[in-house]
A and B are shown apart, each in its own frame.
Chain A
């Protein structure tokens, strides 16, 4: 799914949170809450729920929506995750089984929750740690259409420890414009390339784009102590060709977003800015939002899909630290 639409979008009062901070203050506040999570083969996919459920047990005020992925239902941690939810009295909904699209199911749940809340503010919490890019990058737009200015949207991410694995290369066909529009005949084009661990993939992306003015960014600090060194080592040749490099703290989403948006604003004065995020999900999400929030031609965000080859197997991603997230509300 691609956001090439006329819709405007704004991030009102964006605030960063740690999961712990929010849990502590949530106990004392009276709100209706809808918690959205997934059940997948990663052990990480139920981690946020495991820490949230004991504090905010399912009730009339705290409802839970757990979406189950249609594929790999018997692989790795999926059975264990399904079992965990079942023990907590939560059913795992596989949208395809109901003949529905996942994002439509989410939207319906929110509309129902908002309708039942009356004047009471609603908080919608999305744990996107194990969601695919096509879900979590679209959810801010989908959800913002369903909530009111008094409601709040939260997005949570649990960092994960990725095992060494083989990611195949990329080519022109894997690129799609997720958000934004280019200008006609731009002067200087600046490519902002988000970097992760995948040297071959990053290099393929770089060589397809063939950037004139390259800006690179990566997460720092990373999910583990050697993260930044490895990103720098794996992408040494790309970084050496960059005209500007910056790091963003993904634990503080509001800061990460404004850092990326600031760089985009700076280079947009010279011409088009093309964001090509890779690496941790919060940076991909932040980059994907920028063109829509700016709403001006000449800012584009590409998504580069990951190819599955015949021998692709699911890999377990274990949680490797406390969750963090951000909240925002839609403006009046």
Chain B
């Protein structure tokens, strides 16, 4: 094992820099220090309405917050500097968090009244954010304080006349104007309050219309060229929006309200209506009205490698590890020449056991008799044998052997270790990566971070995360049951009497998806990054054709090879029916009922690998 940067942490007693797994809403300067701009981030600067779909922890909030003018101006990047200097993109952040939605006094009112409440509150929030960013625009545009003050005064006068014509004298600063909007929001408790509010006609207009009207006349007031500016409305946590609210958003996207462009972040399957407020009119994706964009990264993508290295570098700096070459690899150390699976296998089993001949022999013994015969017939053609068996079965064989080794008394095999494995376990999810690093850092301050120690830490982390699944909202228990059913079957294929060609992949049949309980549980699994799927299924819906797999975190828990291979077993209901119990969703099923329903599932596997 090469030198590890983590050795420098031995005896460290300060705070764990990986404790915070969330993008914190610090001030703009601190925010940019936490942020790694991926190629996906830069691709968001465009003129299209986009719905950004990402799992929990995929970095939705970070992306949207950094799109704002105030945060972007602190980013040390040439593109960012150009956008700032030319006002090409001005983003403002509009959060739709649970308390904001819950505070709308319209939850028990008819949908048409709910729309009025939502439009009123949304416009308050959006105007507040818009004004806040205008302040930043003035800061950049006017270095002379006197000129800046004059521009702000003119701007306030213009906006007050437009929005609050009855108020005299007009607010003298943007902060005062924001305070007025705050008061408008805090004064609504009932529909009567909304309708009697002096600003009712302004604020209960379709969303963003007051801002659109304001933008038209801003340019001559503050004397900045905004003719090529796109105003990015960054709506966060849209998973909390109900159907009537989503219809308002869709109506906006349908109406092409440029230069206002919408960037809305939500969890998978939560943008669940295409309807608008106009009967019979729907929004269309694929660029017509908007595009869906998947935020989640592939664990092998250069962006994810860069992001994980950046997180390591920026956070380790906080505890005194400052160097140019801080990467995840350097922090954890590398095994052998390539830090590959075979290097970890060799480190545990010795050089001889890791030779191709020995591995091939082990694979032959682990396979079924039918496959053994096939190997024997191929033995005269080593190239074909290597391609057909050694390359494909070696990762499965390694994990099979490692688990066996690990079960021997006090022996711990250093298997689930190293940078590549940790990125796999994070599965492209930045928050999960920080959570793993939190555990690893804690261990590193007391122990040397050997592969064995890394393995212990990673497996313990995965075990805890697996336990936590049943606590996820609404369908956590059913999800846990599904995961266990799939995981145990796959585990048996890898570690049973005859080794099969499987990884973490699985499929689902029509009848599973027709059952709302299972469909919701699968969708929850995808949203919380416990089940991974292909892009189409992630953005639209899970179908029998979807390629699904357990997240690699669960792969560690069940001791599976961390990859998708072969013909995945397909989850289905026994004989296509659920005898005895028909699941209903409301009221919820008890734990016992969920177990009964799950007992009706099977996962047949077609071992047709040639």
Residue A169 at the B interface, CB < 8 A?
Answer: yes
Residue B468 at the A interface, CB < 8 A?
Answer: yes
Residue numbers in B under 8 Å from A243 (CB-CB): 19-20
> Known contacts being A4-B105, A183-B182, is A168 close to B21, with CB within 8 Å?
no
Per the bound structure, the CA–CA distance linking A202 and B132 in Å amounts to 36
> Known contacts being A307-B588, A311-B593, is A188 close to B24, with CB within 8 Å?
yes
> Known contacts being A182-B100, A300-B99, A310-B587, is A200 close to B592, with CB within 8 Å?
no
Residue numbers in B under 8 Å from A180 (CB-CB): 103
Residue B508 at the A interface, CB < 8 A?
Answer: no
Pairwise interchain contact A189-B97, C-beta atoms closer than 8 A: yes
Cβ proximity bits A156-181 to B, threshold 8 Å, 1 near / 0 not = 00000000001011111001110011
Closest B residue to A204 by beta carbon equals: B473
Pairwise interchain contact A272-B99, C-beta atoms closer than 8 A: yes
Cβ proximity bits B46-90 to A, threshold 8 Å, 1 near / 0 not = 000000000010000000000000000000000000000000000
Per the bound structure, the CA–CA distance linking A272 and B124 in Å amounts to 17
Residue B125 at the A interface, CB < 8 A?
Answer: yes
Residue numbers in B under 8 Å from A207 (CB-CB): 56, 471-473, 528
Cβ proximity bits B158-194 to A, threshold 8 Å, 1 near / 0 not = 0000000000000000000000011001100100000
Pairwise interchain contact A210-B472, C-beta atoms closer than 8 A: no
Pairwise interchain contact A172-B25, C-beta atoms closer than 8 A: no
Cβ proximity bits A205-217 to B, threshold 8 Å, 1 near / 0 not = 0111111110000
Q: How many residues of B contact A (CB 8 A)?
A: 51
Contact among A186, A209, A311 for B590, CB-based, below 8 A: A311
> Known contacts being A189-B25, A203-B472, A207-B56, is A5 close to B95, with CB within 8 Å?
no
Pairwise interchain contact B24-A237, C-beta atoms closer than 8 A: no
Pairwise interchain contact A300-B471, C-beta atoms closer than 8 A: no
Residue B484 at the A interface, CB < 8 A?
Answer: no
Per the bound structure, the CA–CA distance linking A210 and B19 in Å amounts to 15
Pairwise interchain contact B182-A297, C-beta atoms closer than 8 A: yes
Residue A185 at the B interface, CB < 8 A?
Answer: yes
Per the bound structure, the CA–CA distance linking A206 and B239 in Å amounts to 16
Pairwise interchain contact A200-B471, C-beta atoms closer than 8 A: yes
Closest A residue to B93 by beta carbon equals: A185
Contact among A177, A237, A307 for B99, CB-based, below 8 A: A177
Contact among A189, A203, A297, A309 for B589, CB-based, below 8 A: A309
Closest B residue to A5 by beta carbon equals: B189
Pairwise interchain contact B97-A237, C-beta atoms closer than 8 A: no
Residue numbers in B under 8 Å from A6 (CB-CB): 189
| Docked complex: A93-107 residues within 8 A CB-CB of B | none
| Docked complex: B558-610 residues within 8 A CB-CB of A | 584, 587-593
Pairwise interchain contact A271-B103, C-beta atoms closer than 8 A: no
Pairwise interchain contact B98-A175, C-beta atoms closer than 8 A: yes
Contact among A184, A203, A204, A212 for B125, CB-based, below 8 A: A184
Q: Looking at chain A, what size class is its interface with the partner chain?
A: 35 or more
Closest Cβ of chain A: how far from B517's Cβ, in Å? 13
Residue numbers in A under 8 Å from B589 (CB-CB): 309-310
Per the bound structure, the CA–CA distance linking A207 and B468 in Å amounts to 10
Per the bound structure, the CA–CA distance linking A300 and B56 in Å amounts to 23
Pairwise interchain contact A169-B471, C-beta atoms closer than 8 A: yes
Residue numbers in A under 8 Å from B330 (CB-CB): none
Residue numbers in A under 8 Å from B129 (CB-CB): 184-185
Residue B240 at the A interface, CB < 8 A?
Answer: yes
Per the bound structure, the CA–CA distance linking A16 and B180 in Å amounts to 41
Per the bound structure, the CA–CA distance linking A129 and B464 in Å amounts to 35
Residue numbers in A under 8 Å from B254 (CB-CB): none
Contact among B21, B128, B476 for A169, CB-based, below 8 A: B476
Cβ proximity bits B86-127 to A, threshold 8 Å, 1 near / 0 not = 000000011101111011010100000000000000001100
Pairwise interchain contact A170-B105, C-beta atoms closer than 8 A: no
Closest A residue to B102 by beta carbon equals: A177
Pairwise interchain contact B103-A4, C-beta atoms closer than 8 A: yes
Residue A308 at the B interface, CB < 8 A?
Answer: yes
Closest B residue to A177 by beta carbon equals: B102
Residue numbers in A under 8 Å from B545 (CB-CB): none
Pairwise interchain contact B25-A271, C-beta atoms closer than 8 A: yes
Residue A199 at the B interface, CB < 8 A?
Answer: yes
Residue numbers in B under 8 Å from A12 (CB-CB): none
| Docked complex: B21-62 residues within 8 A CB-CB of A | 21-26, 56
Per the bound structure, the CA–CA distance linking A166 and B419 in Å amounts to 41
Closest Cβ of chain B: how far from A314's Cβ, in Å? 15
Residue B453 at the A interface, CB < 8 A?
Answer: no
Residue A69 at the B interface, CB < 8 A?
Answer: no
Residue numbers in B under 8 Å from A241 (CB-CB): 21
Pairwise interchain contact B182-A171, C-beta atoms closer than 8 A: no
Residue A330 at the B interface, CB < 8 A?
Answer: no
> Known contacts being A199-B471, A207-B528, is A309 close to B588, with CB within 8 Å?
yes
Residue A41 at the B interface, CB < 8 A?
Answer: no
Per the bound structure, the CA–CA distance linking A206 and B468 in Å amounts to 11
Residue numbers in A under 8 Å from B100 (CB-CB): 182
Apart from A209-B98, A211-B22: 17 A-B pairs, beta carbons within 8 A: A169-B477, A172-B239, A177-B99, A177-B102, A181-B103, A184-B181, A199-B471, A200-B470, A200-B471, A204-B476, A207-B56, A207-B473, A237-B464, A243-B19, A297-B182, A300-B99, A310-B587
- Which 9 pairs of residues, A with B, have the shortest CB-CB distance? A203-B471, A171-B474, A177-B102, A171-B473, A182-B99, A184-B128, A212-B22, A300-B99, A204-B473
Q: What are 26 contact pairs spanning A and B, CB under 8 A?
A: A4-B105, A168-B590, A169-B472, A170-B474, A172-B240, A175-B102, A176-B107, A177-B99, A181-B186, A184-B124, A184-B181, A184-B182, A185-B94, A185-B95, A185-B128, A200-B470, A207-B471, A207-B472, A207-B528, A209-B98, A210-B22, A309-B587, A310-B589, A310-B593, A311-B593, A312-B590
Q: Footprint of A on B, CB under 8 Å?
A: 19-26, 56, 93-95, 97-100, 102-103, 105, 107, 124-125, 128-129, 132, 181-182, 185-186, 189, 239-240, 464, 468, 470-477, 528, 584, 587-593
Q: Footprint of B on A, CB under 8 Å?
A: 4-6, 166, 168-172, 175-177, 180-189, 199-204, 206-213, 237, 241, 243, 271-272, 274, 297, 300, 302, 307-312
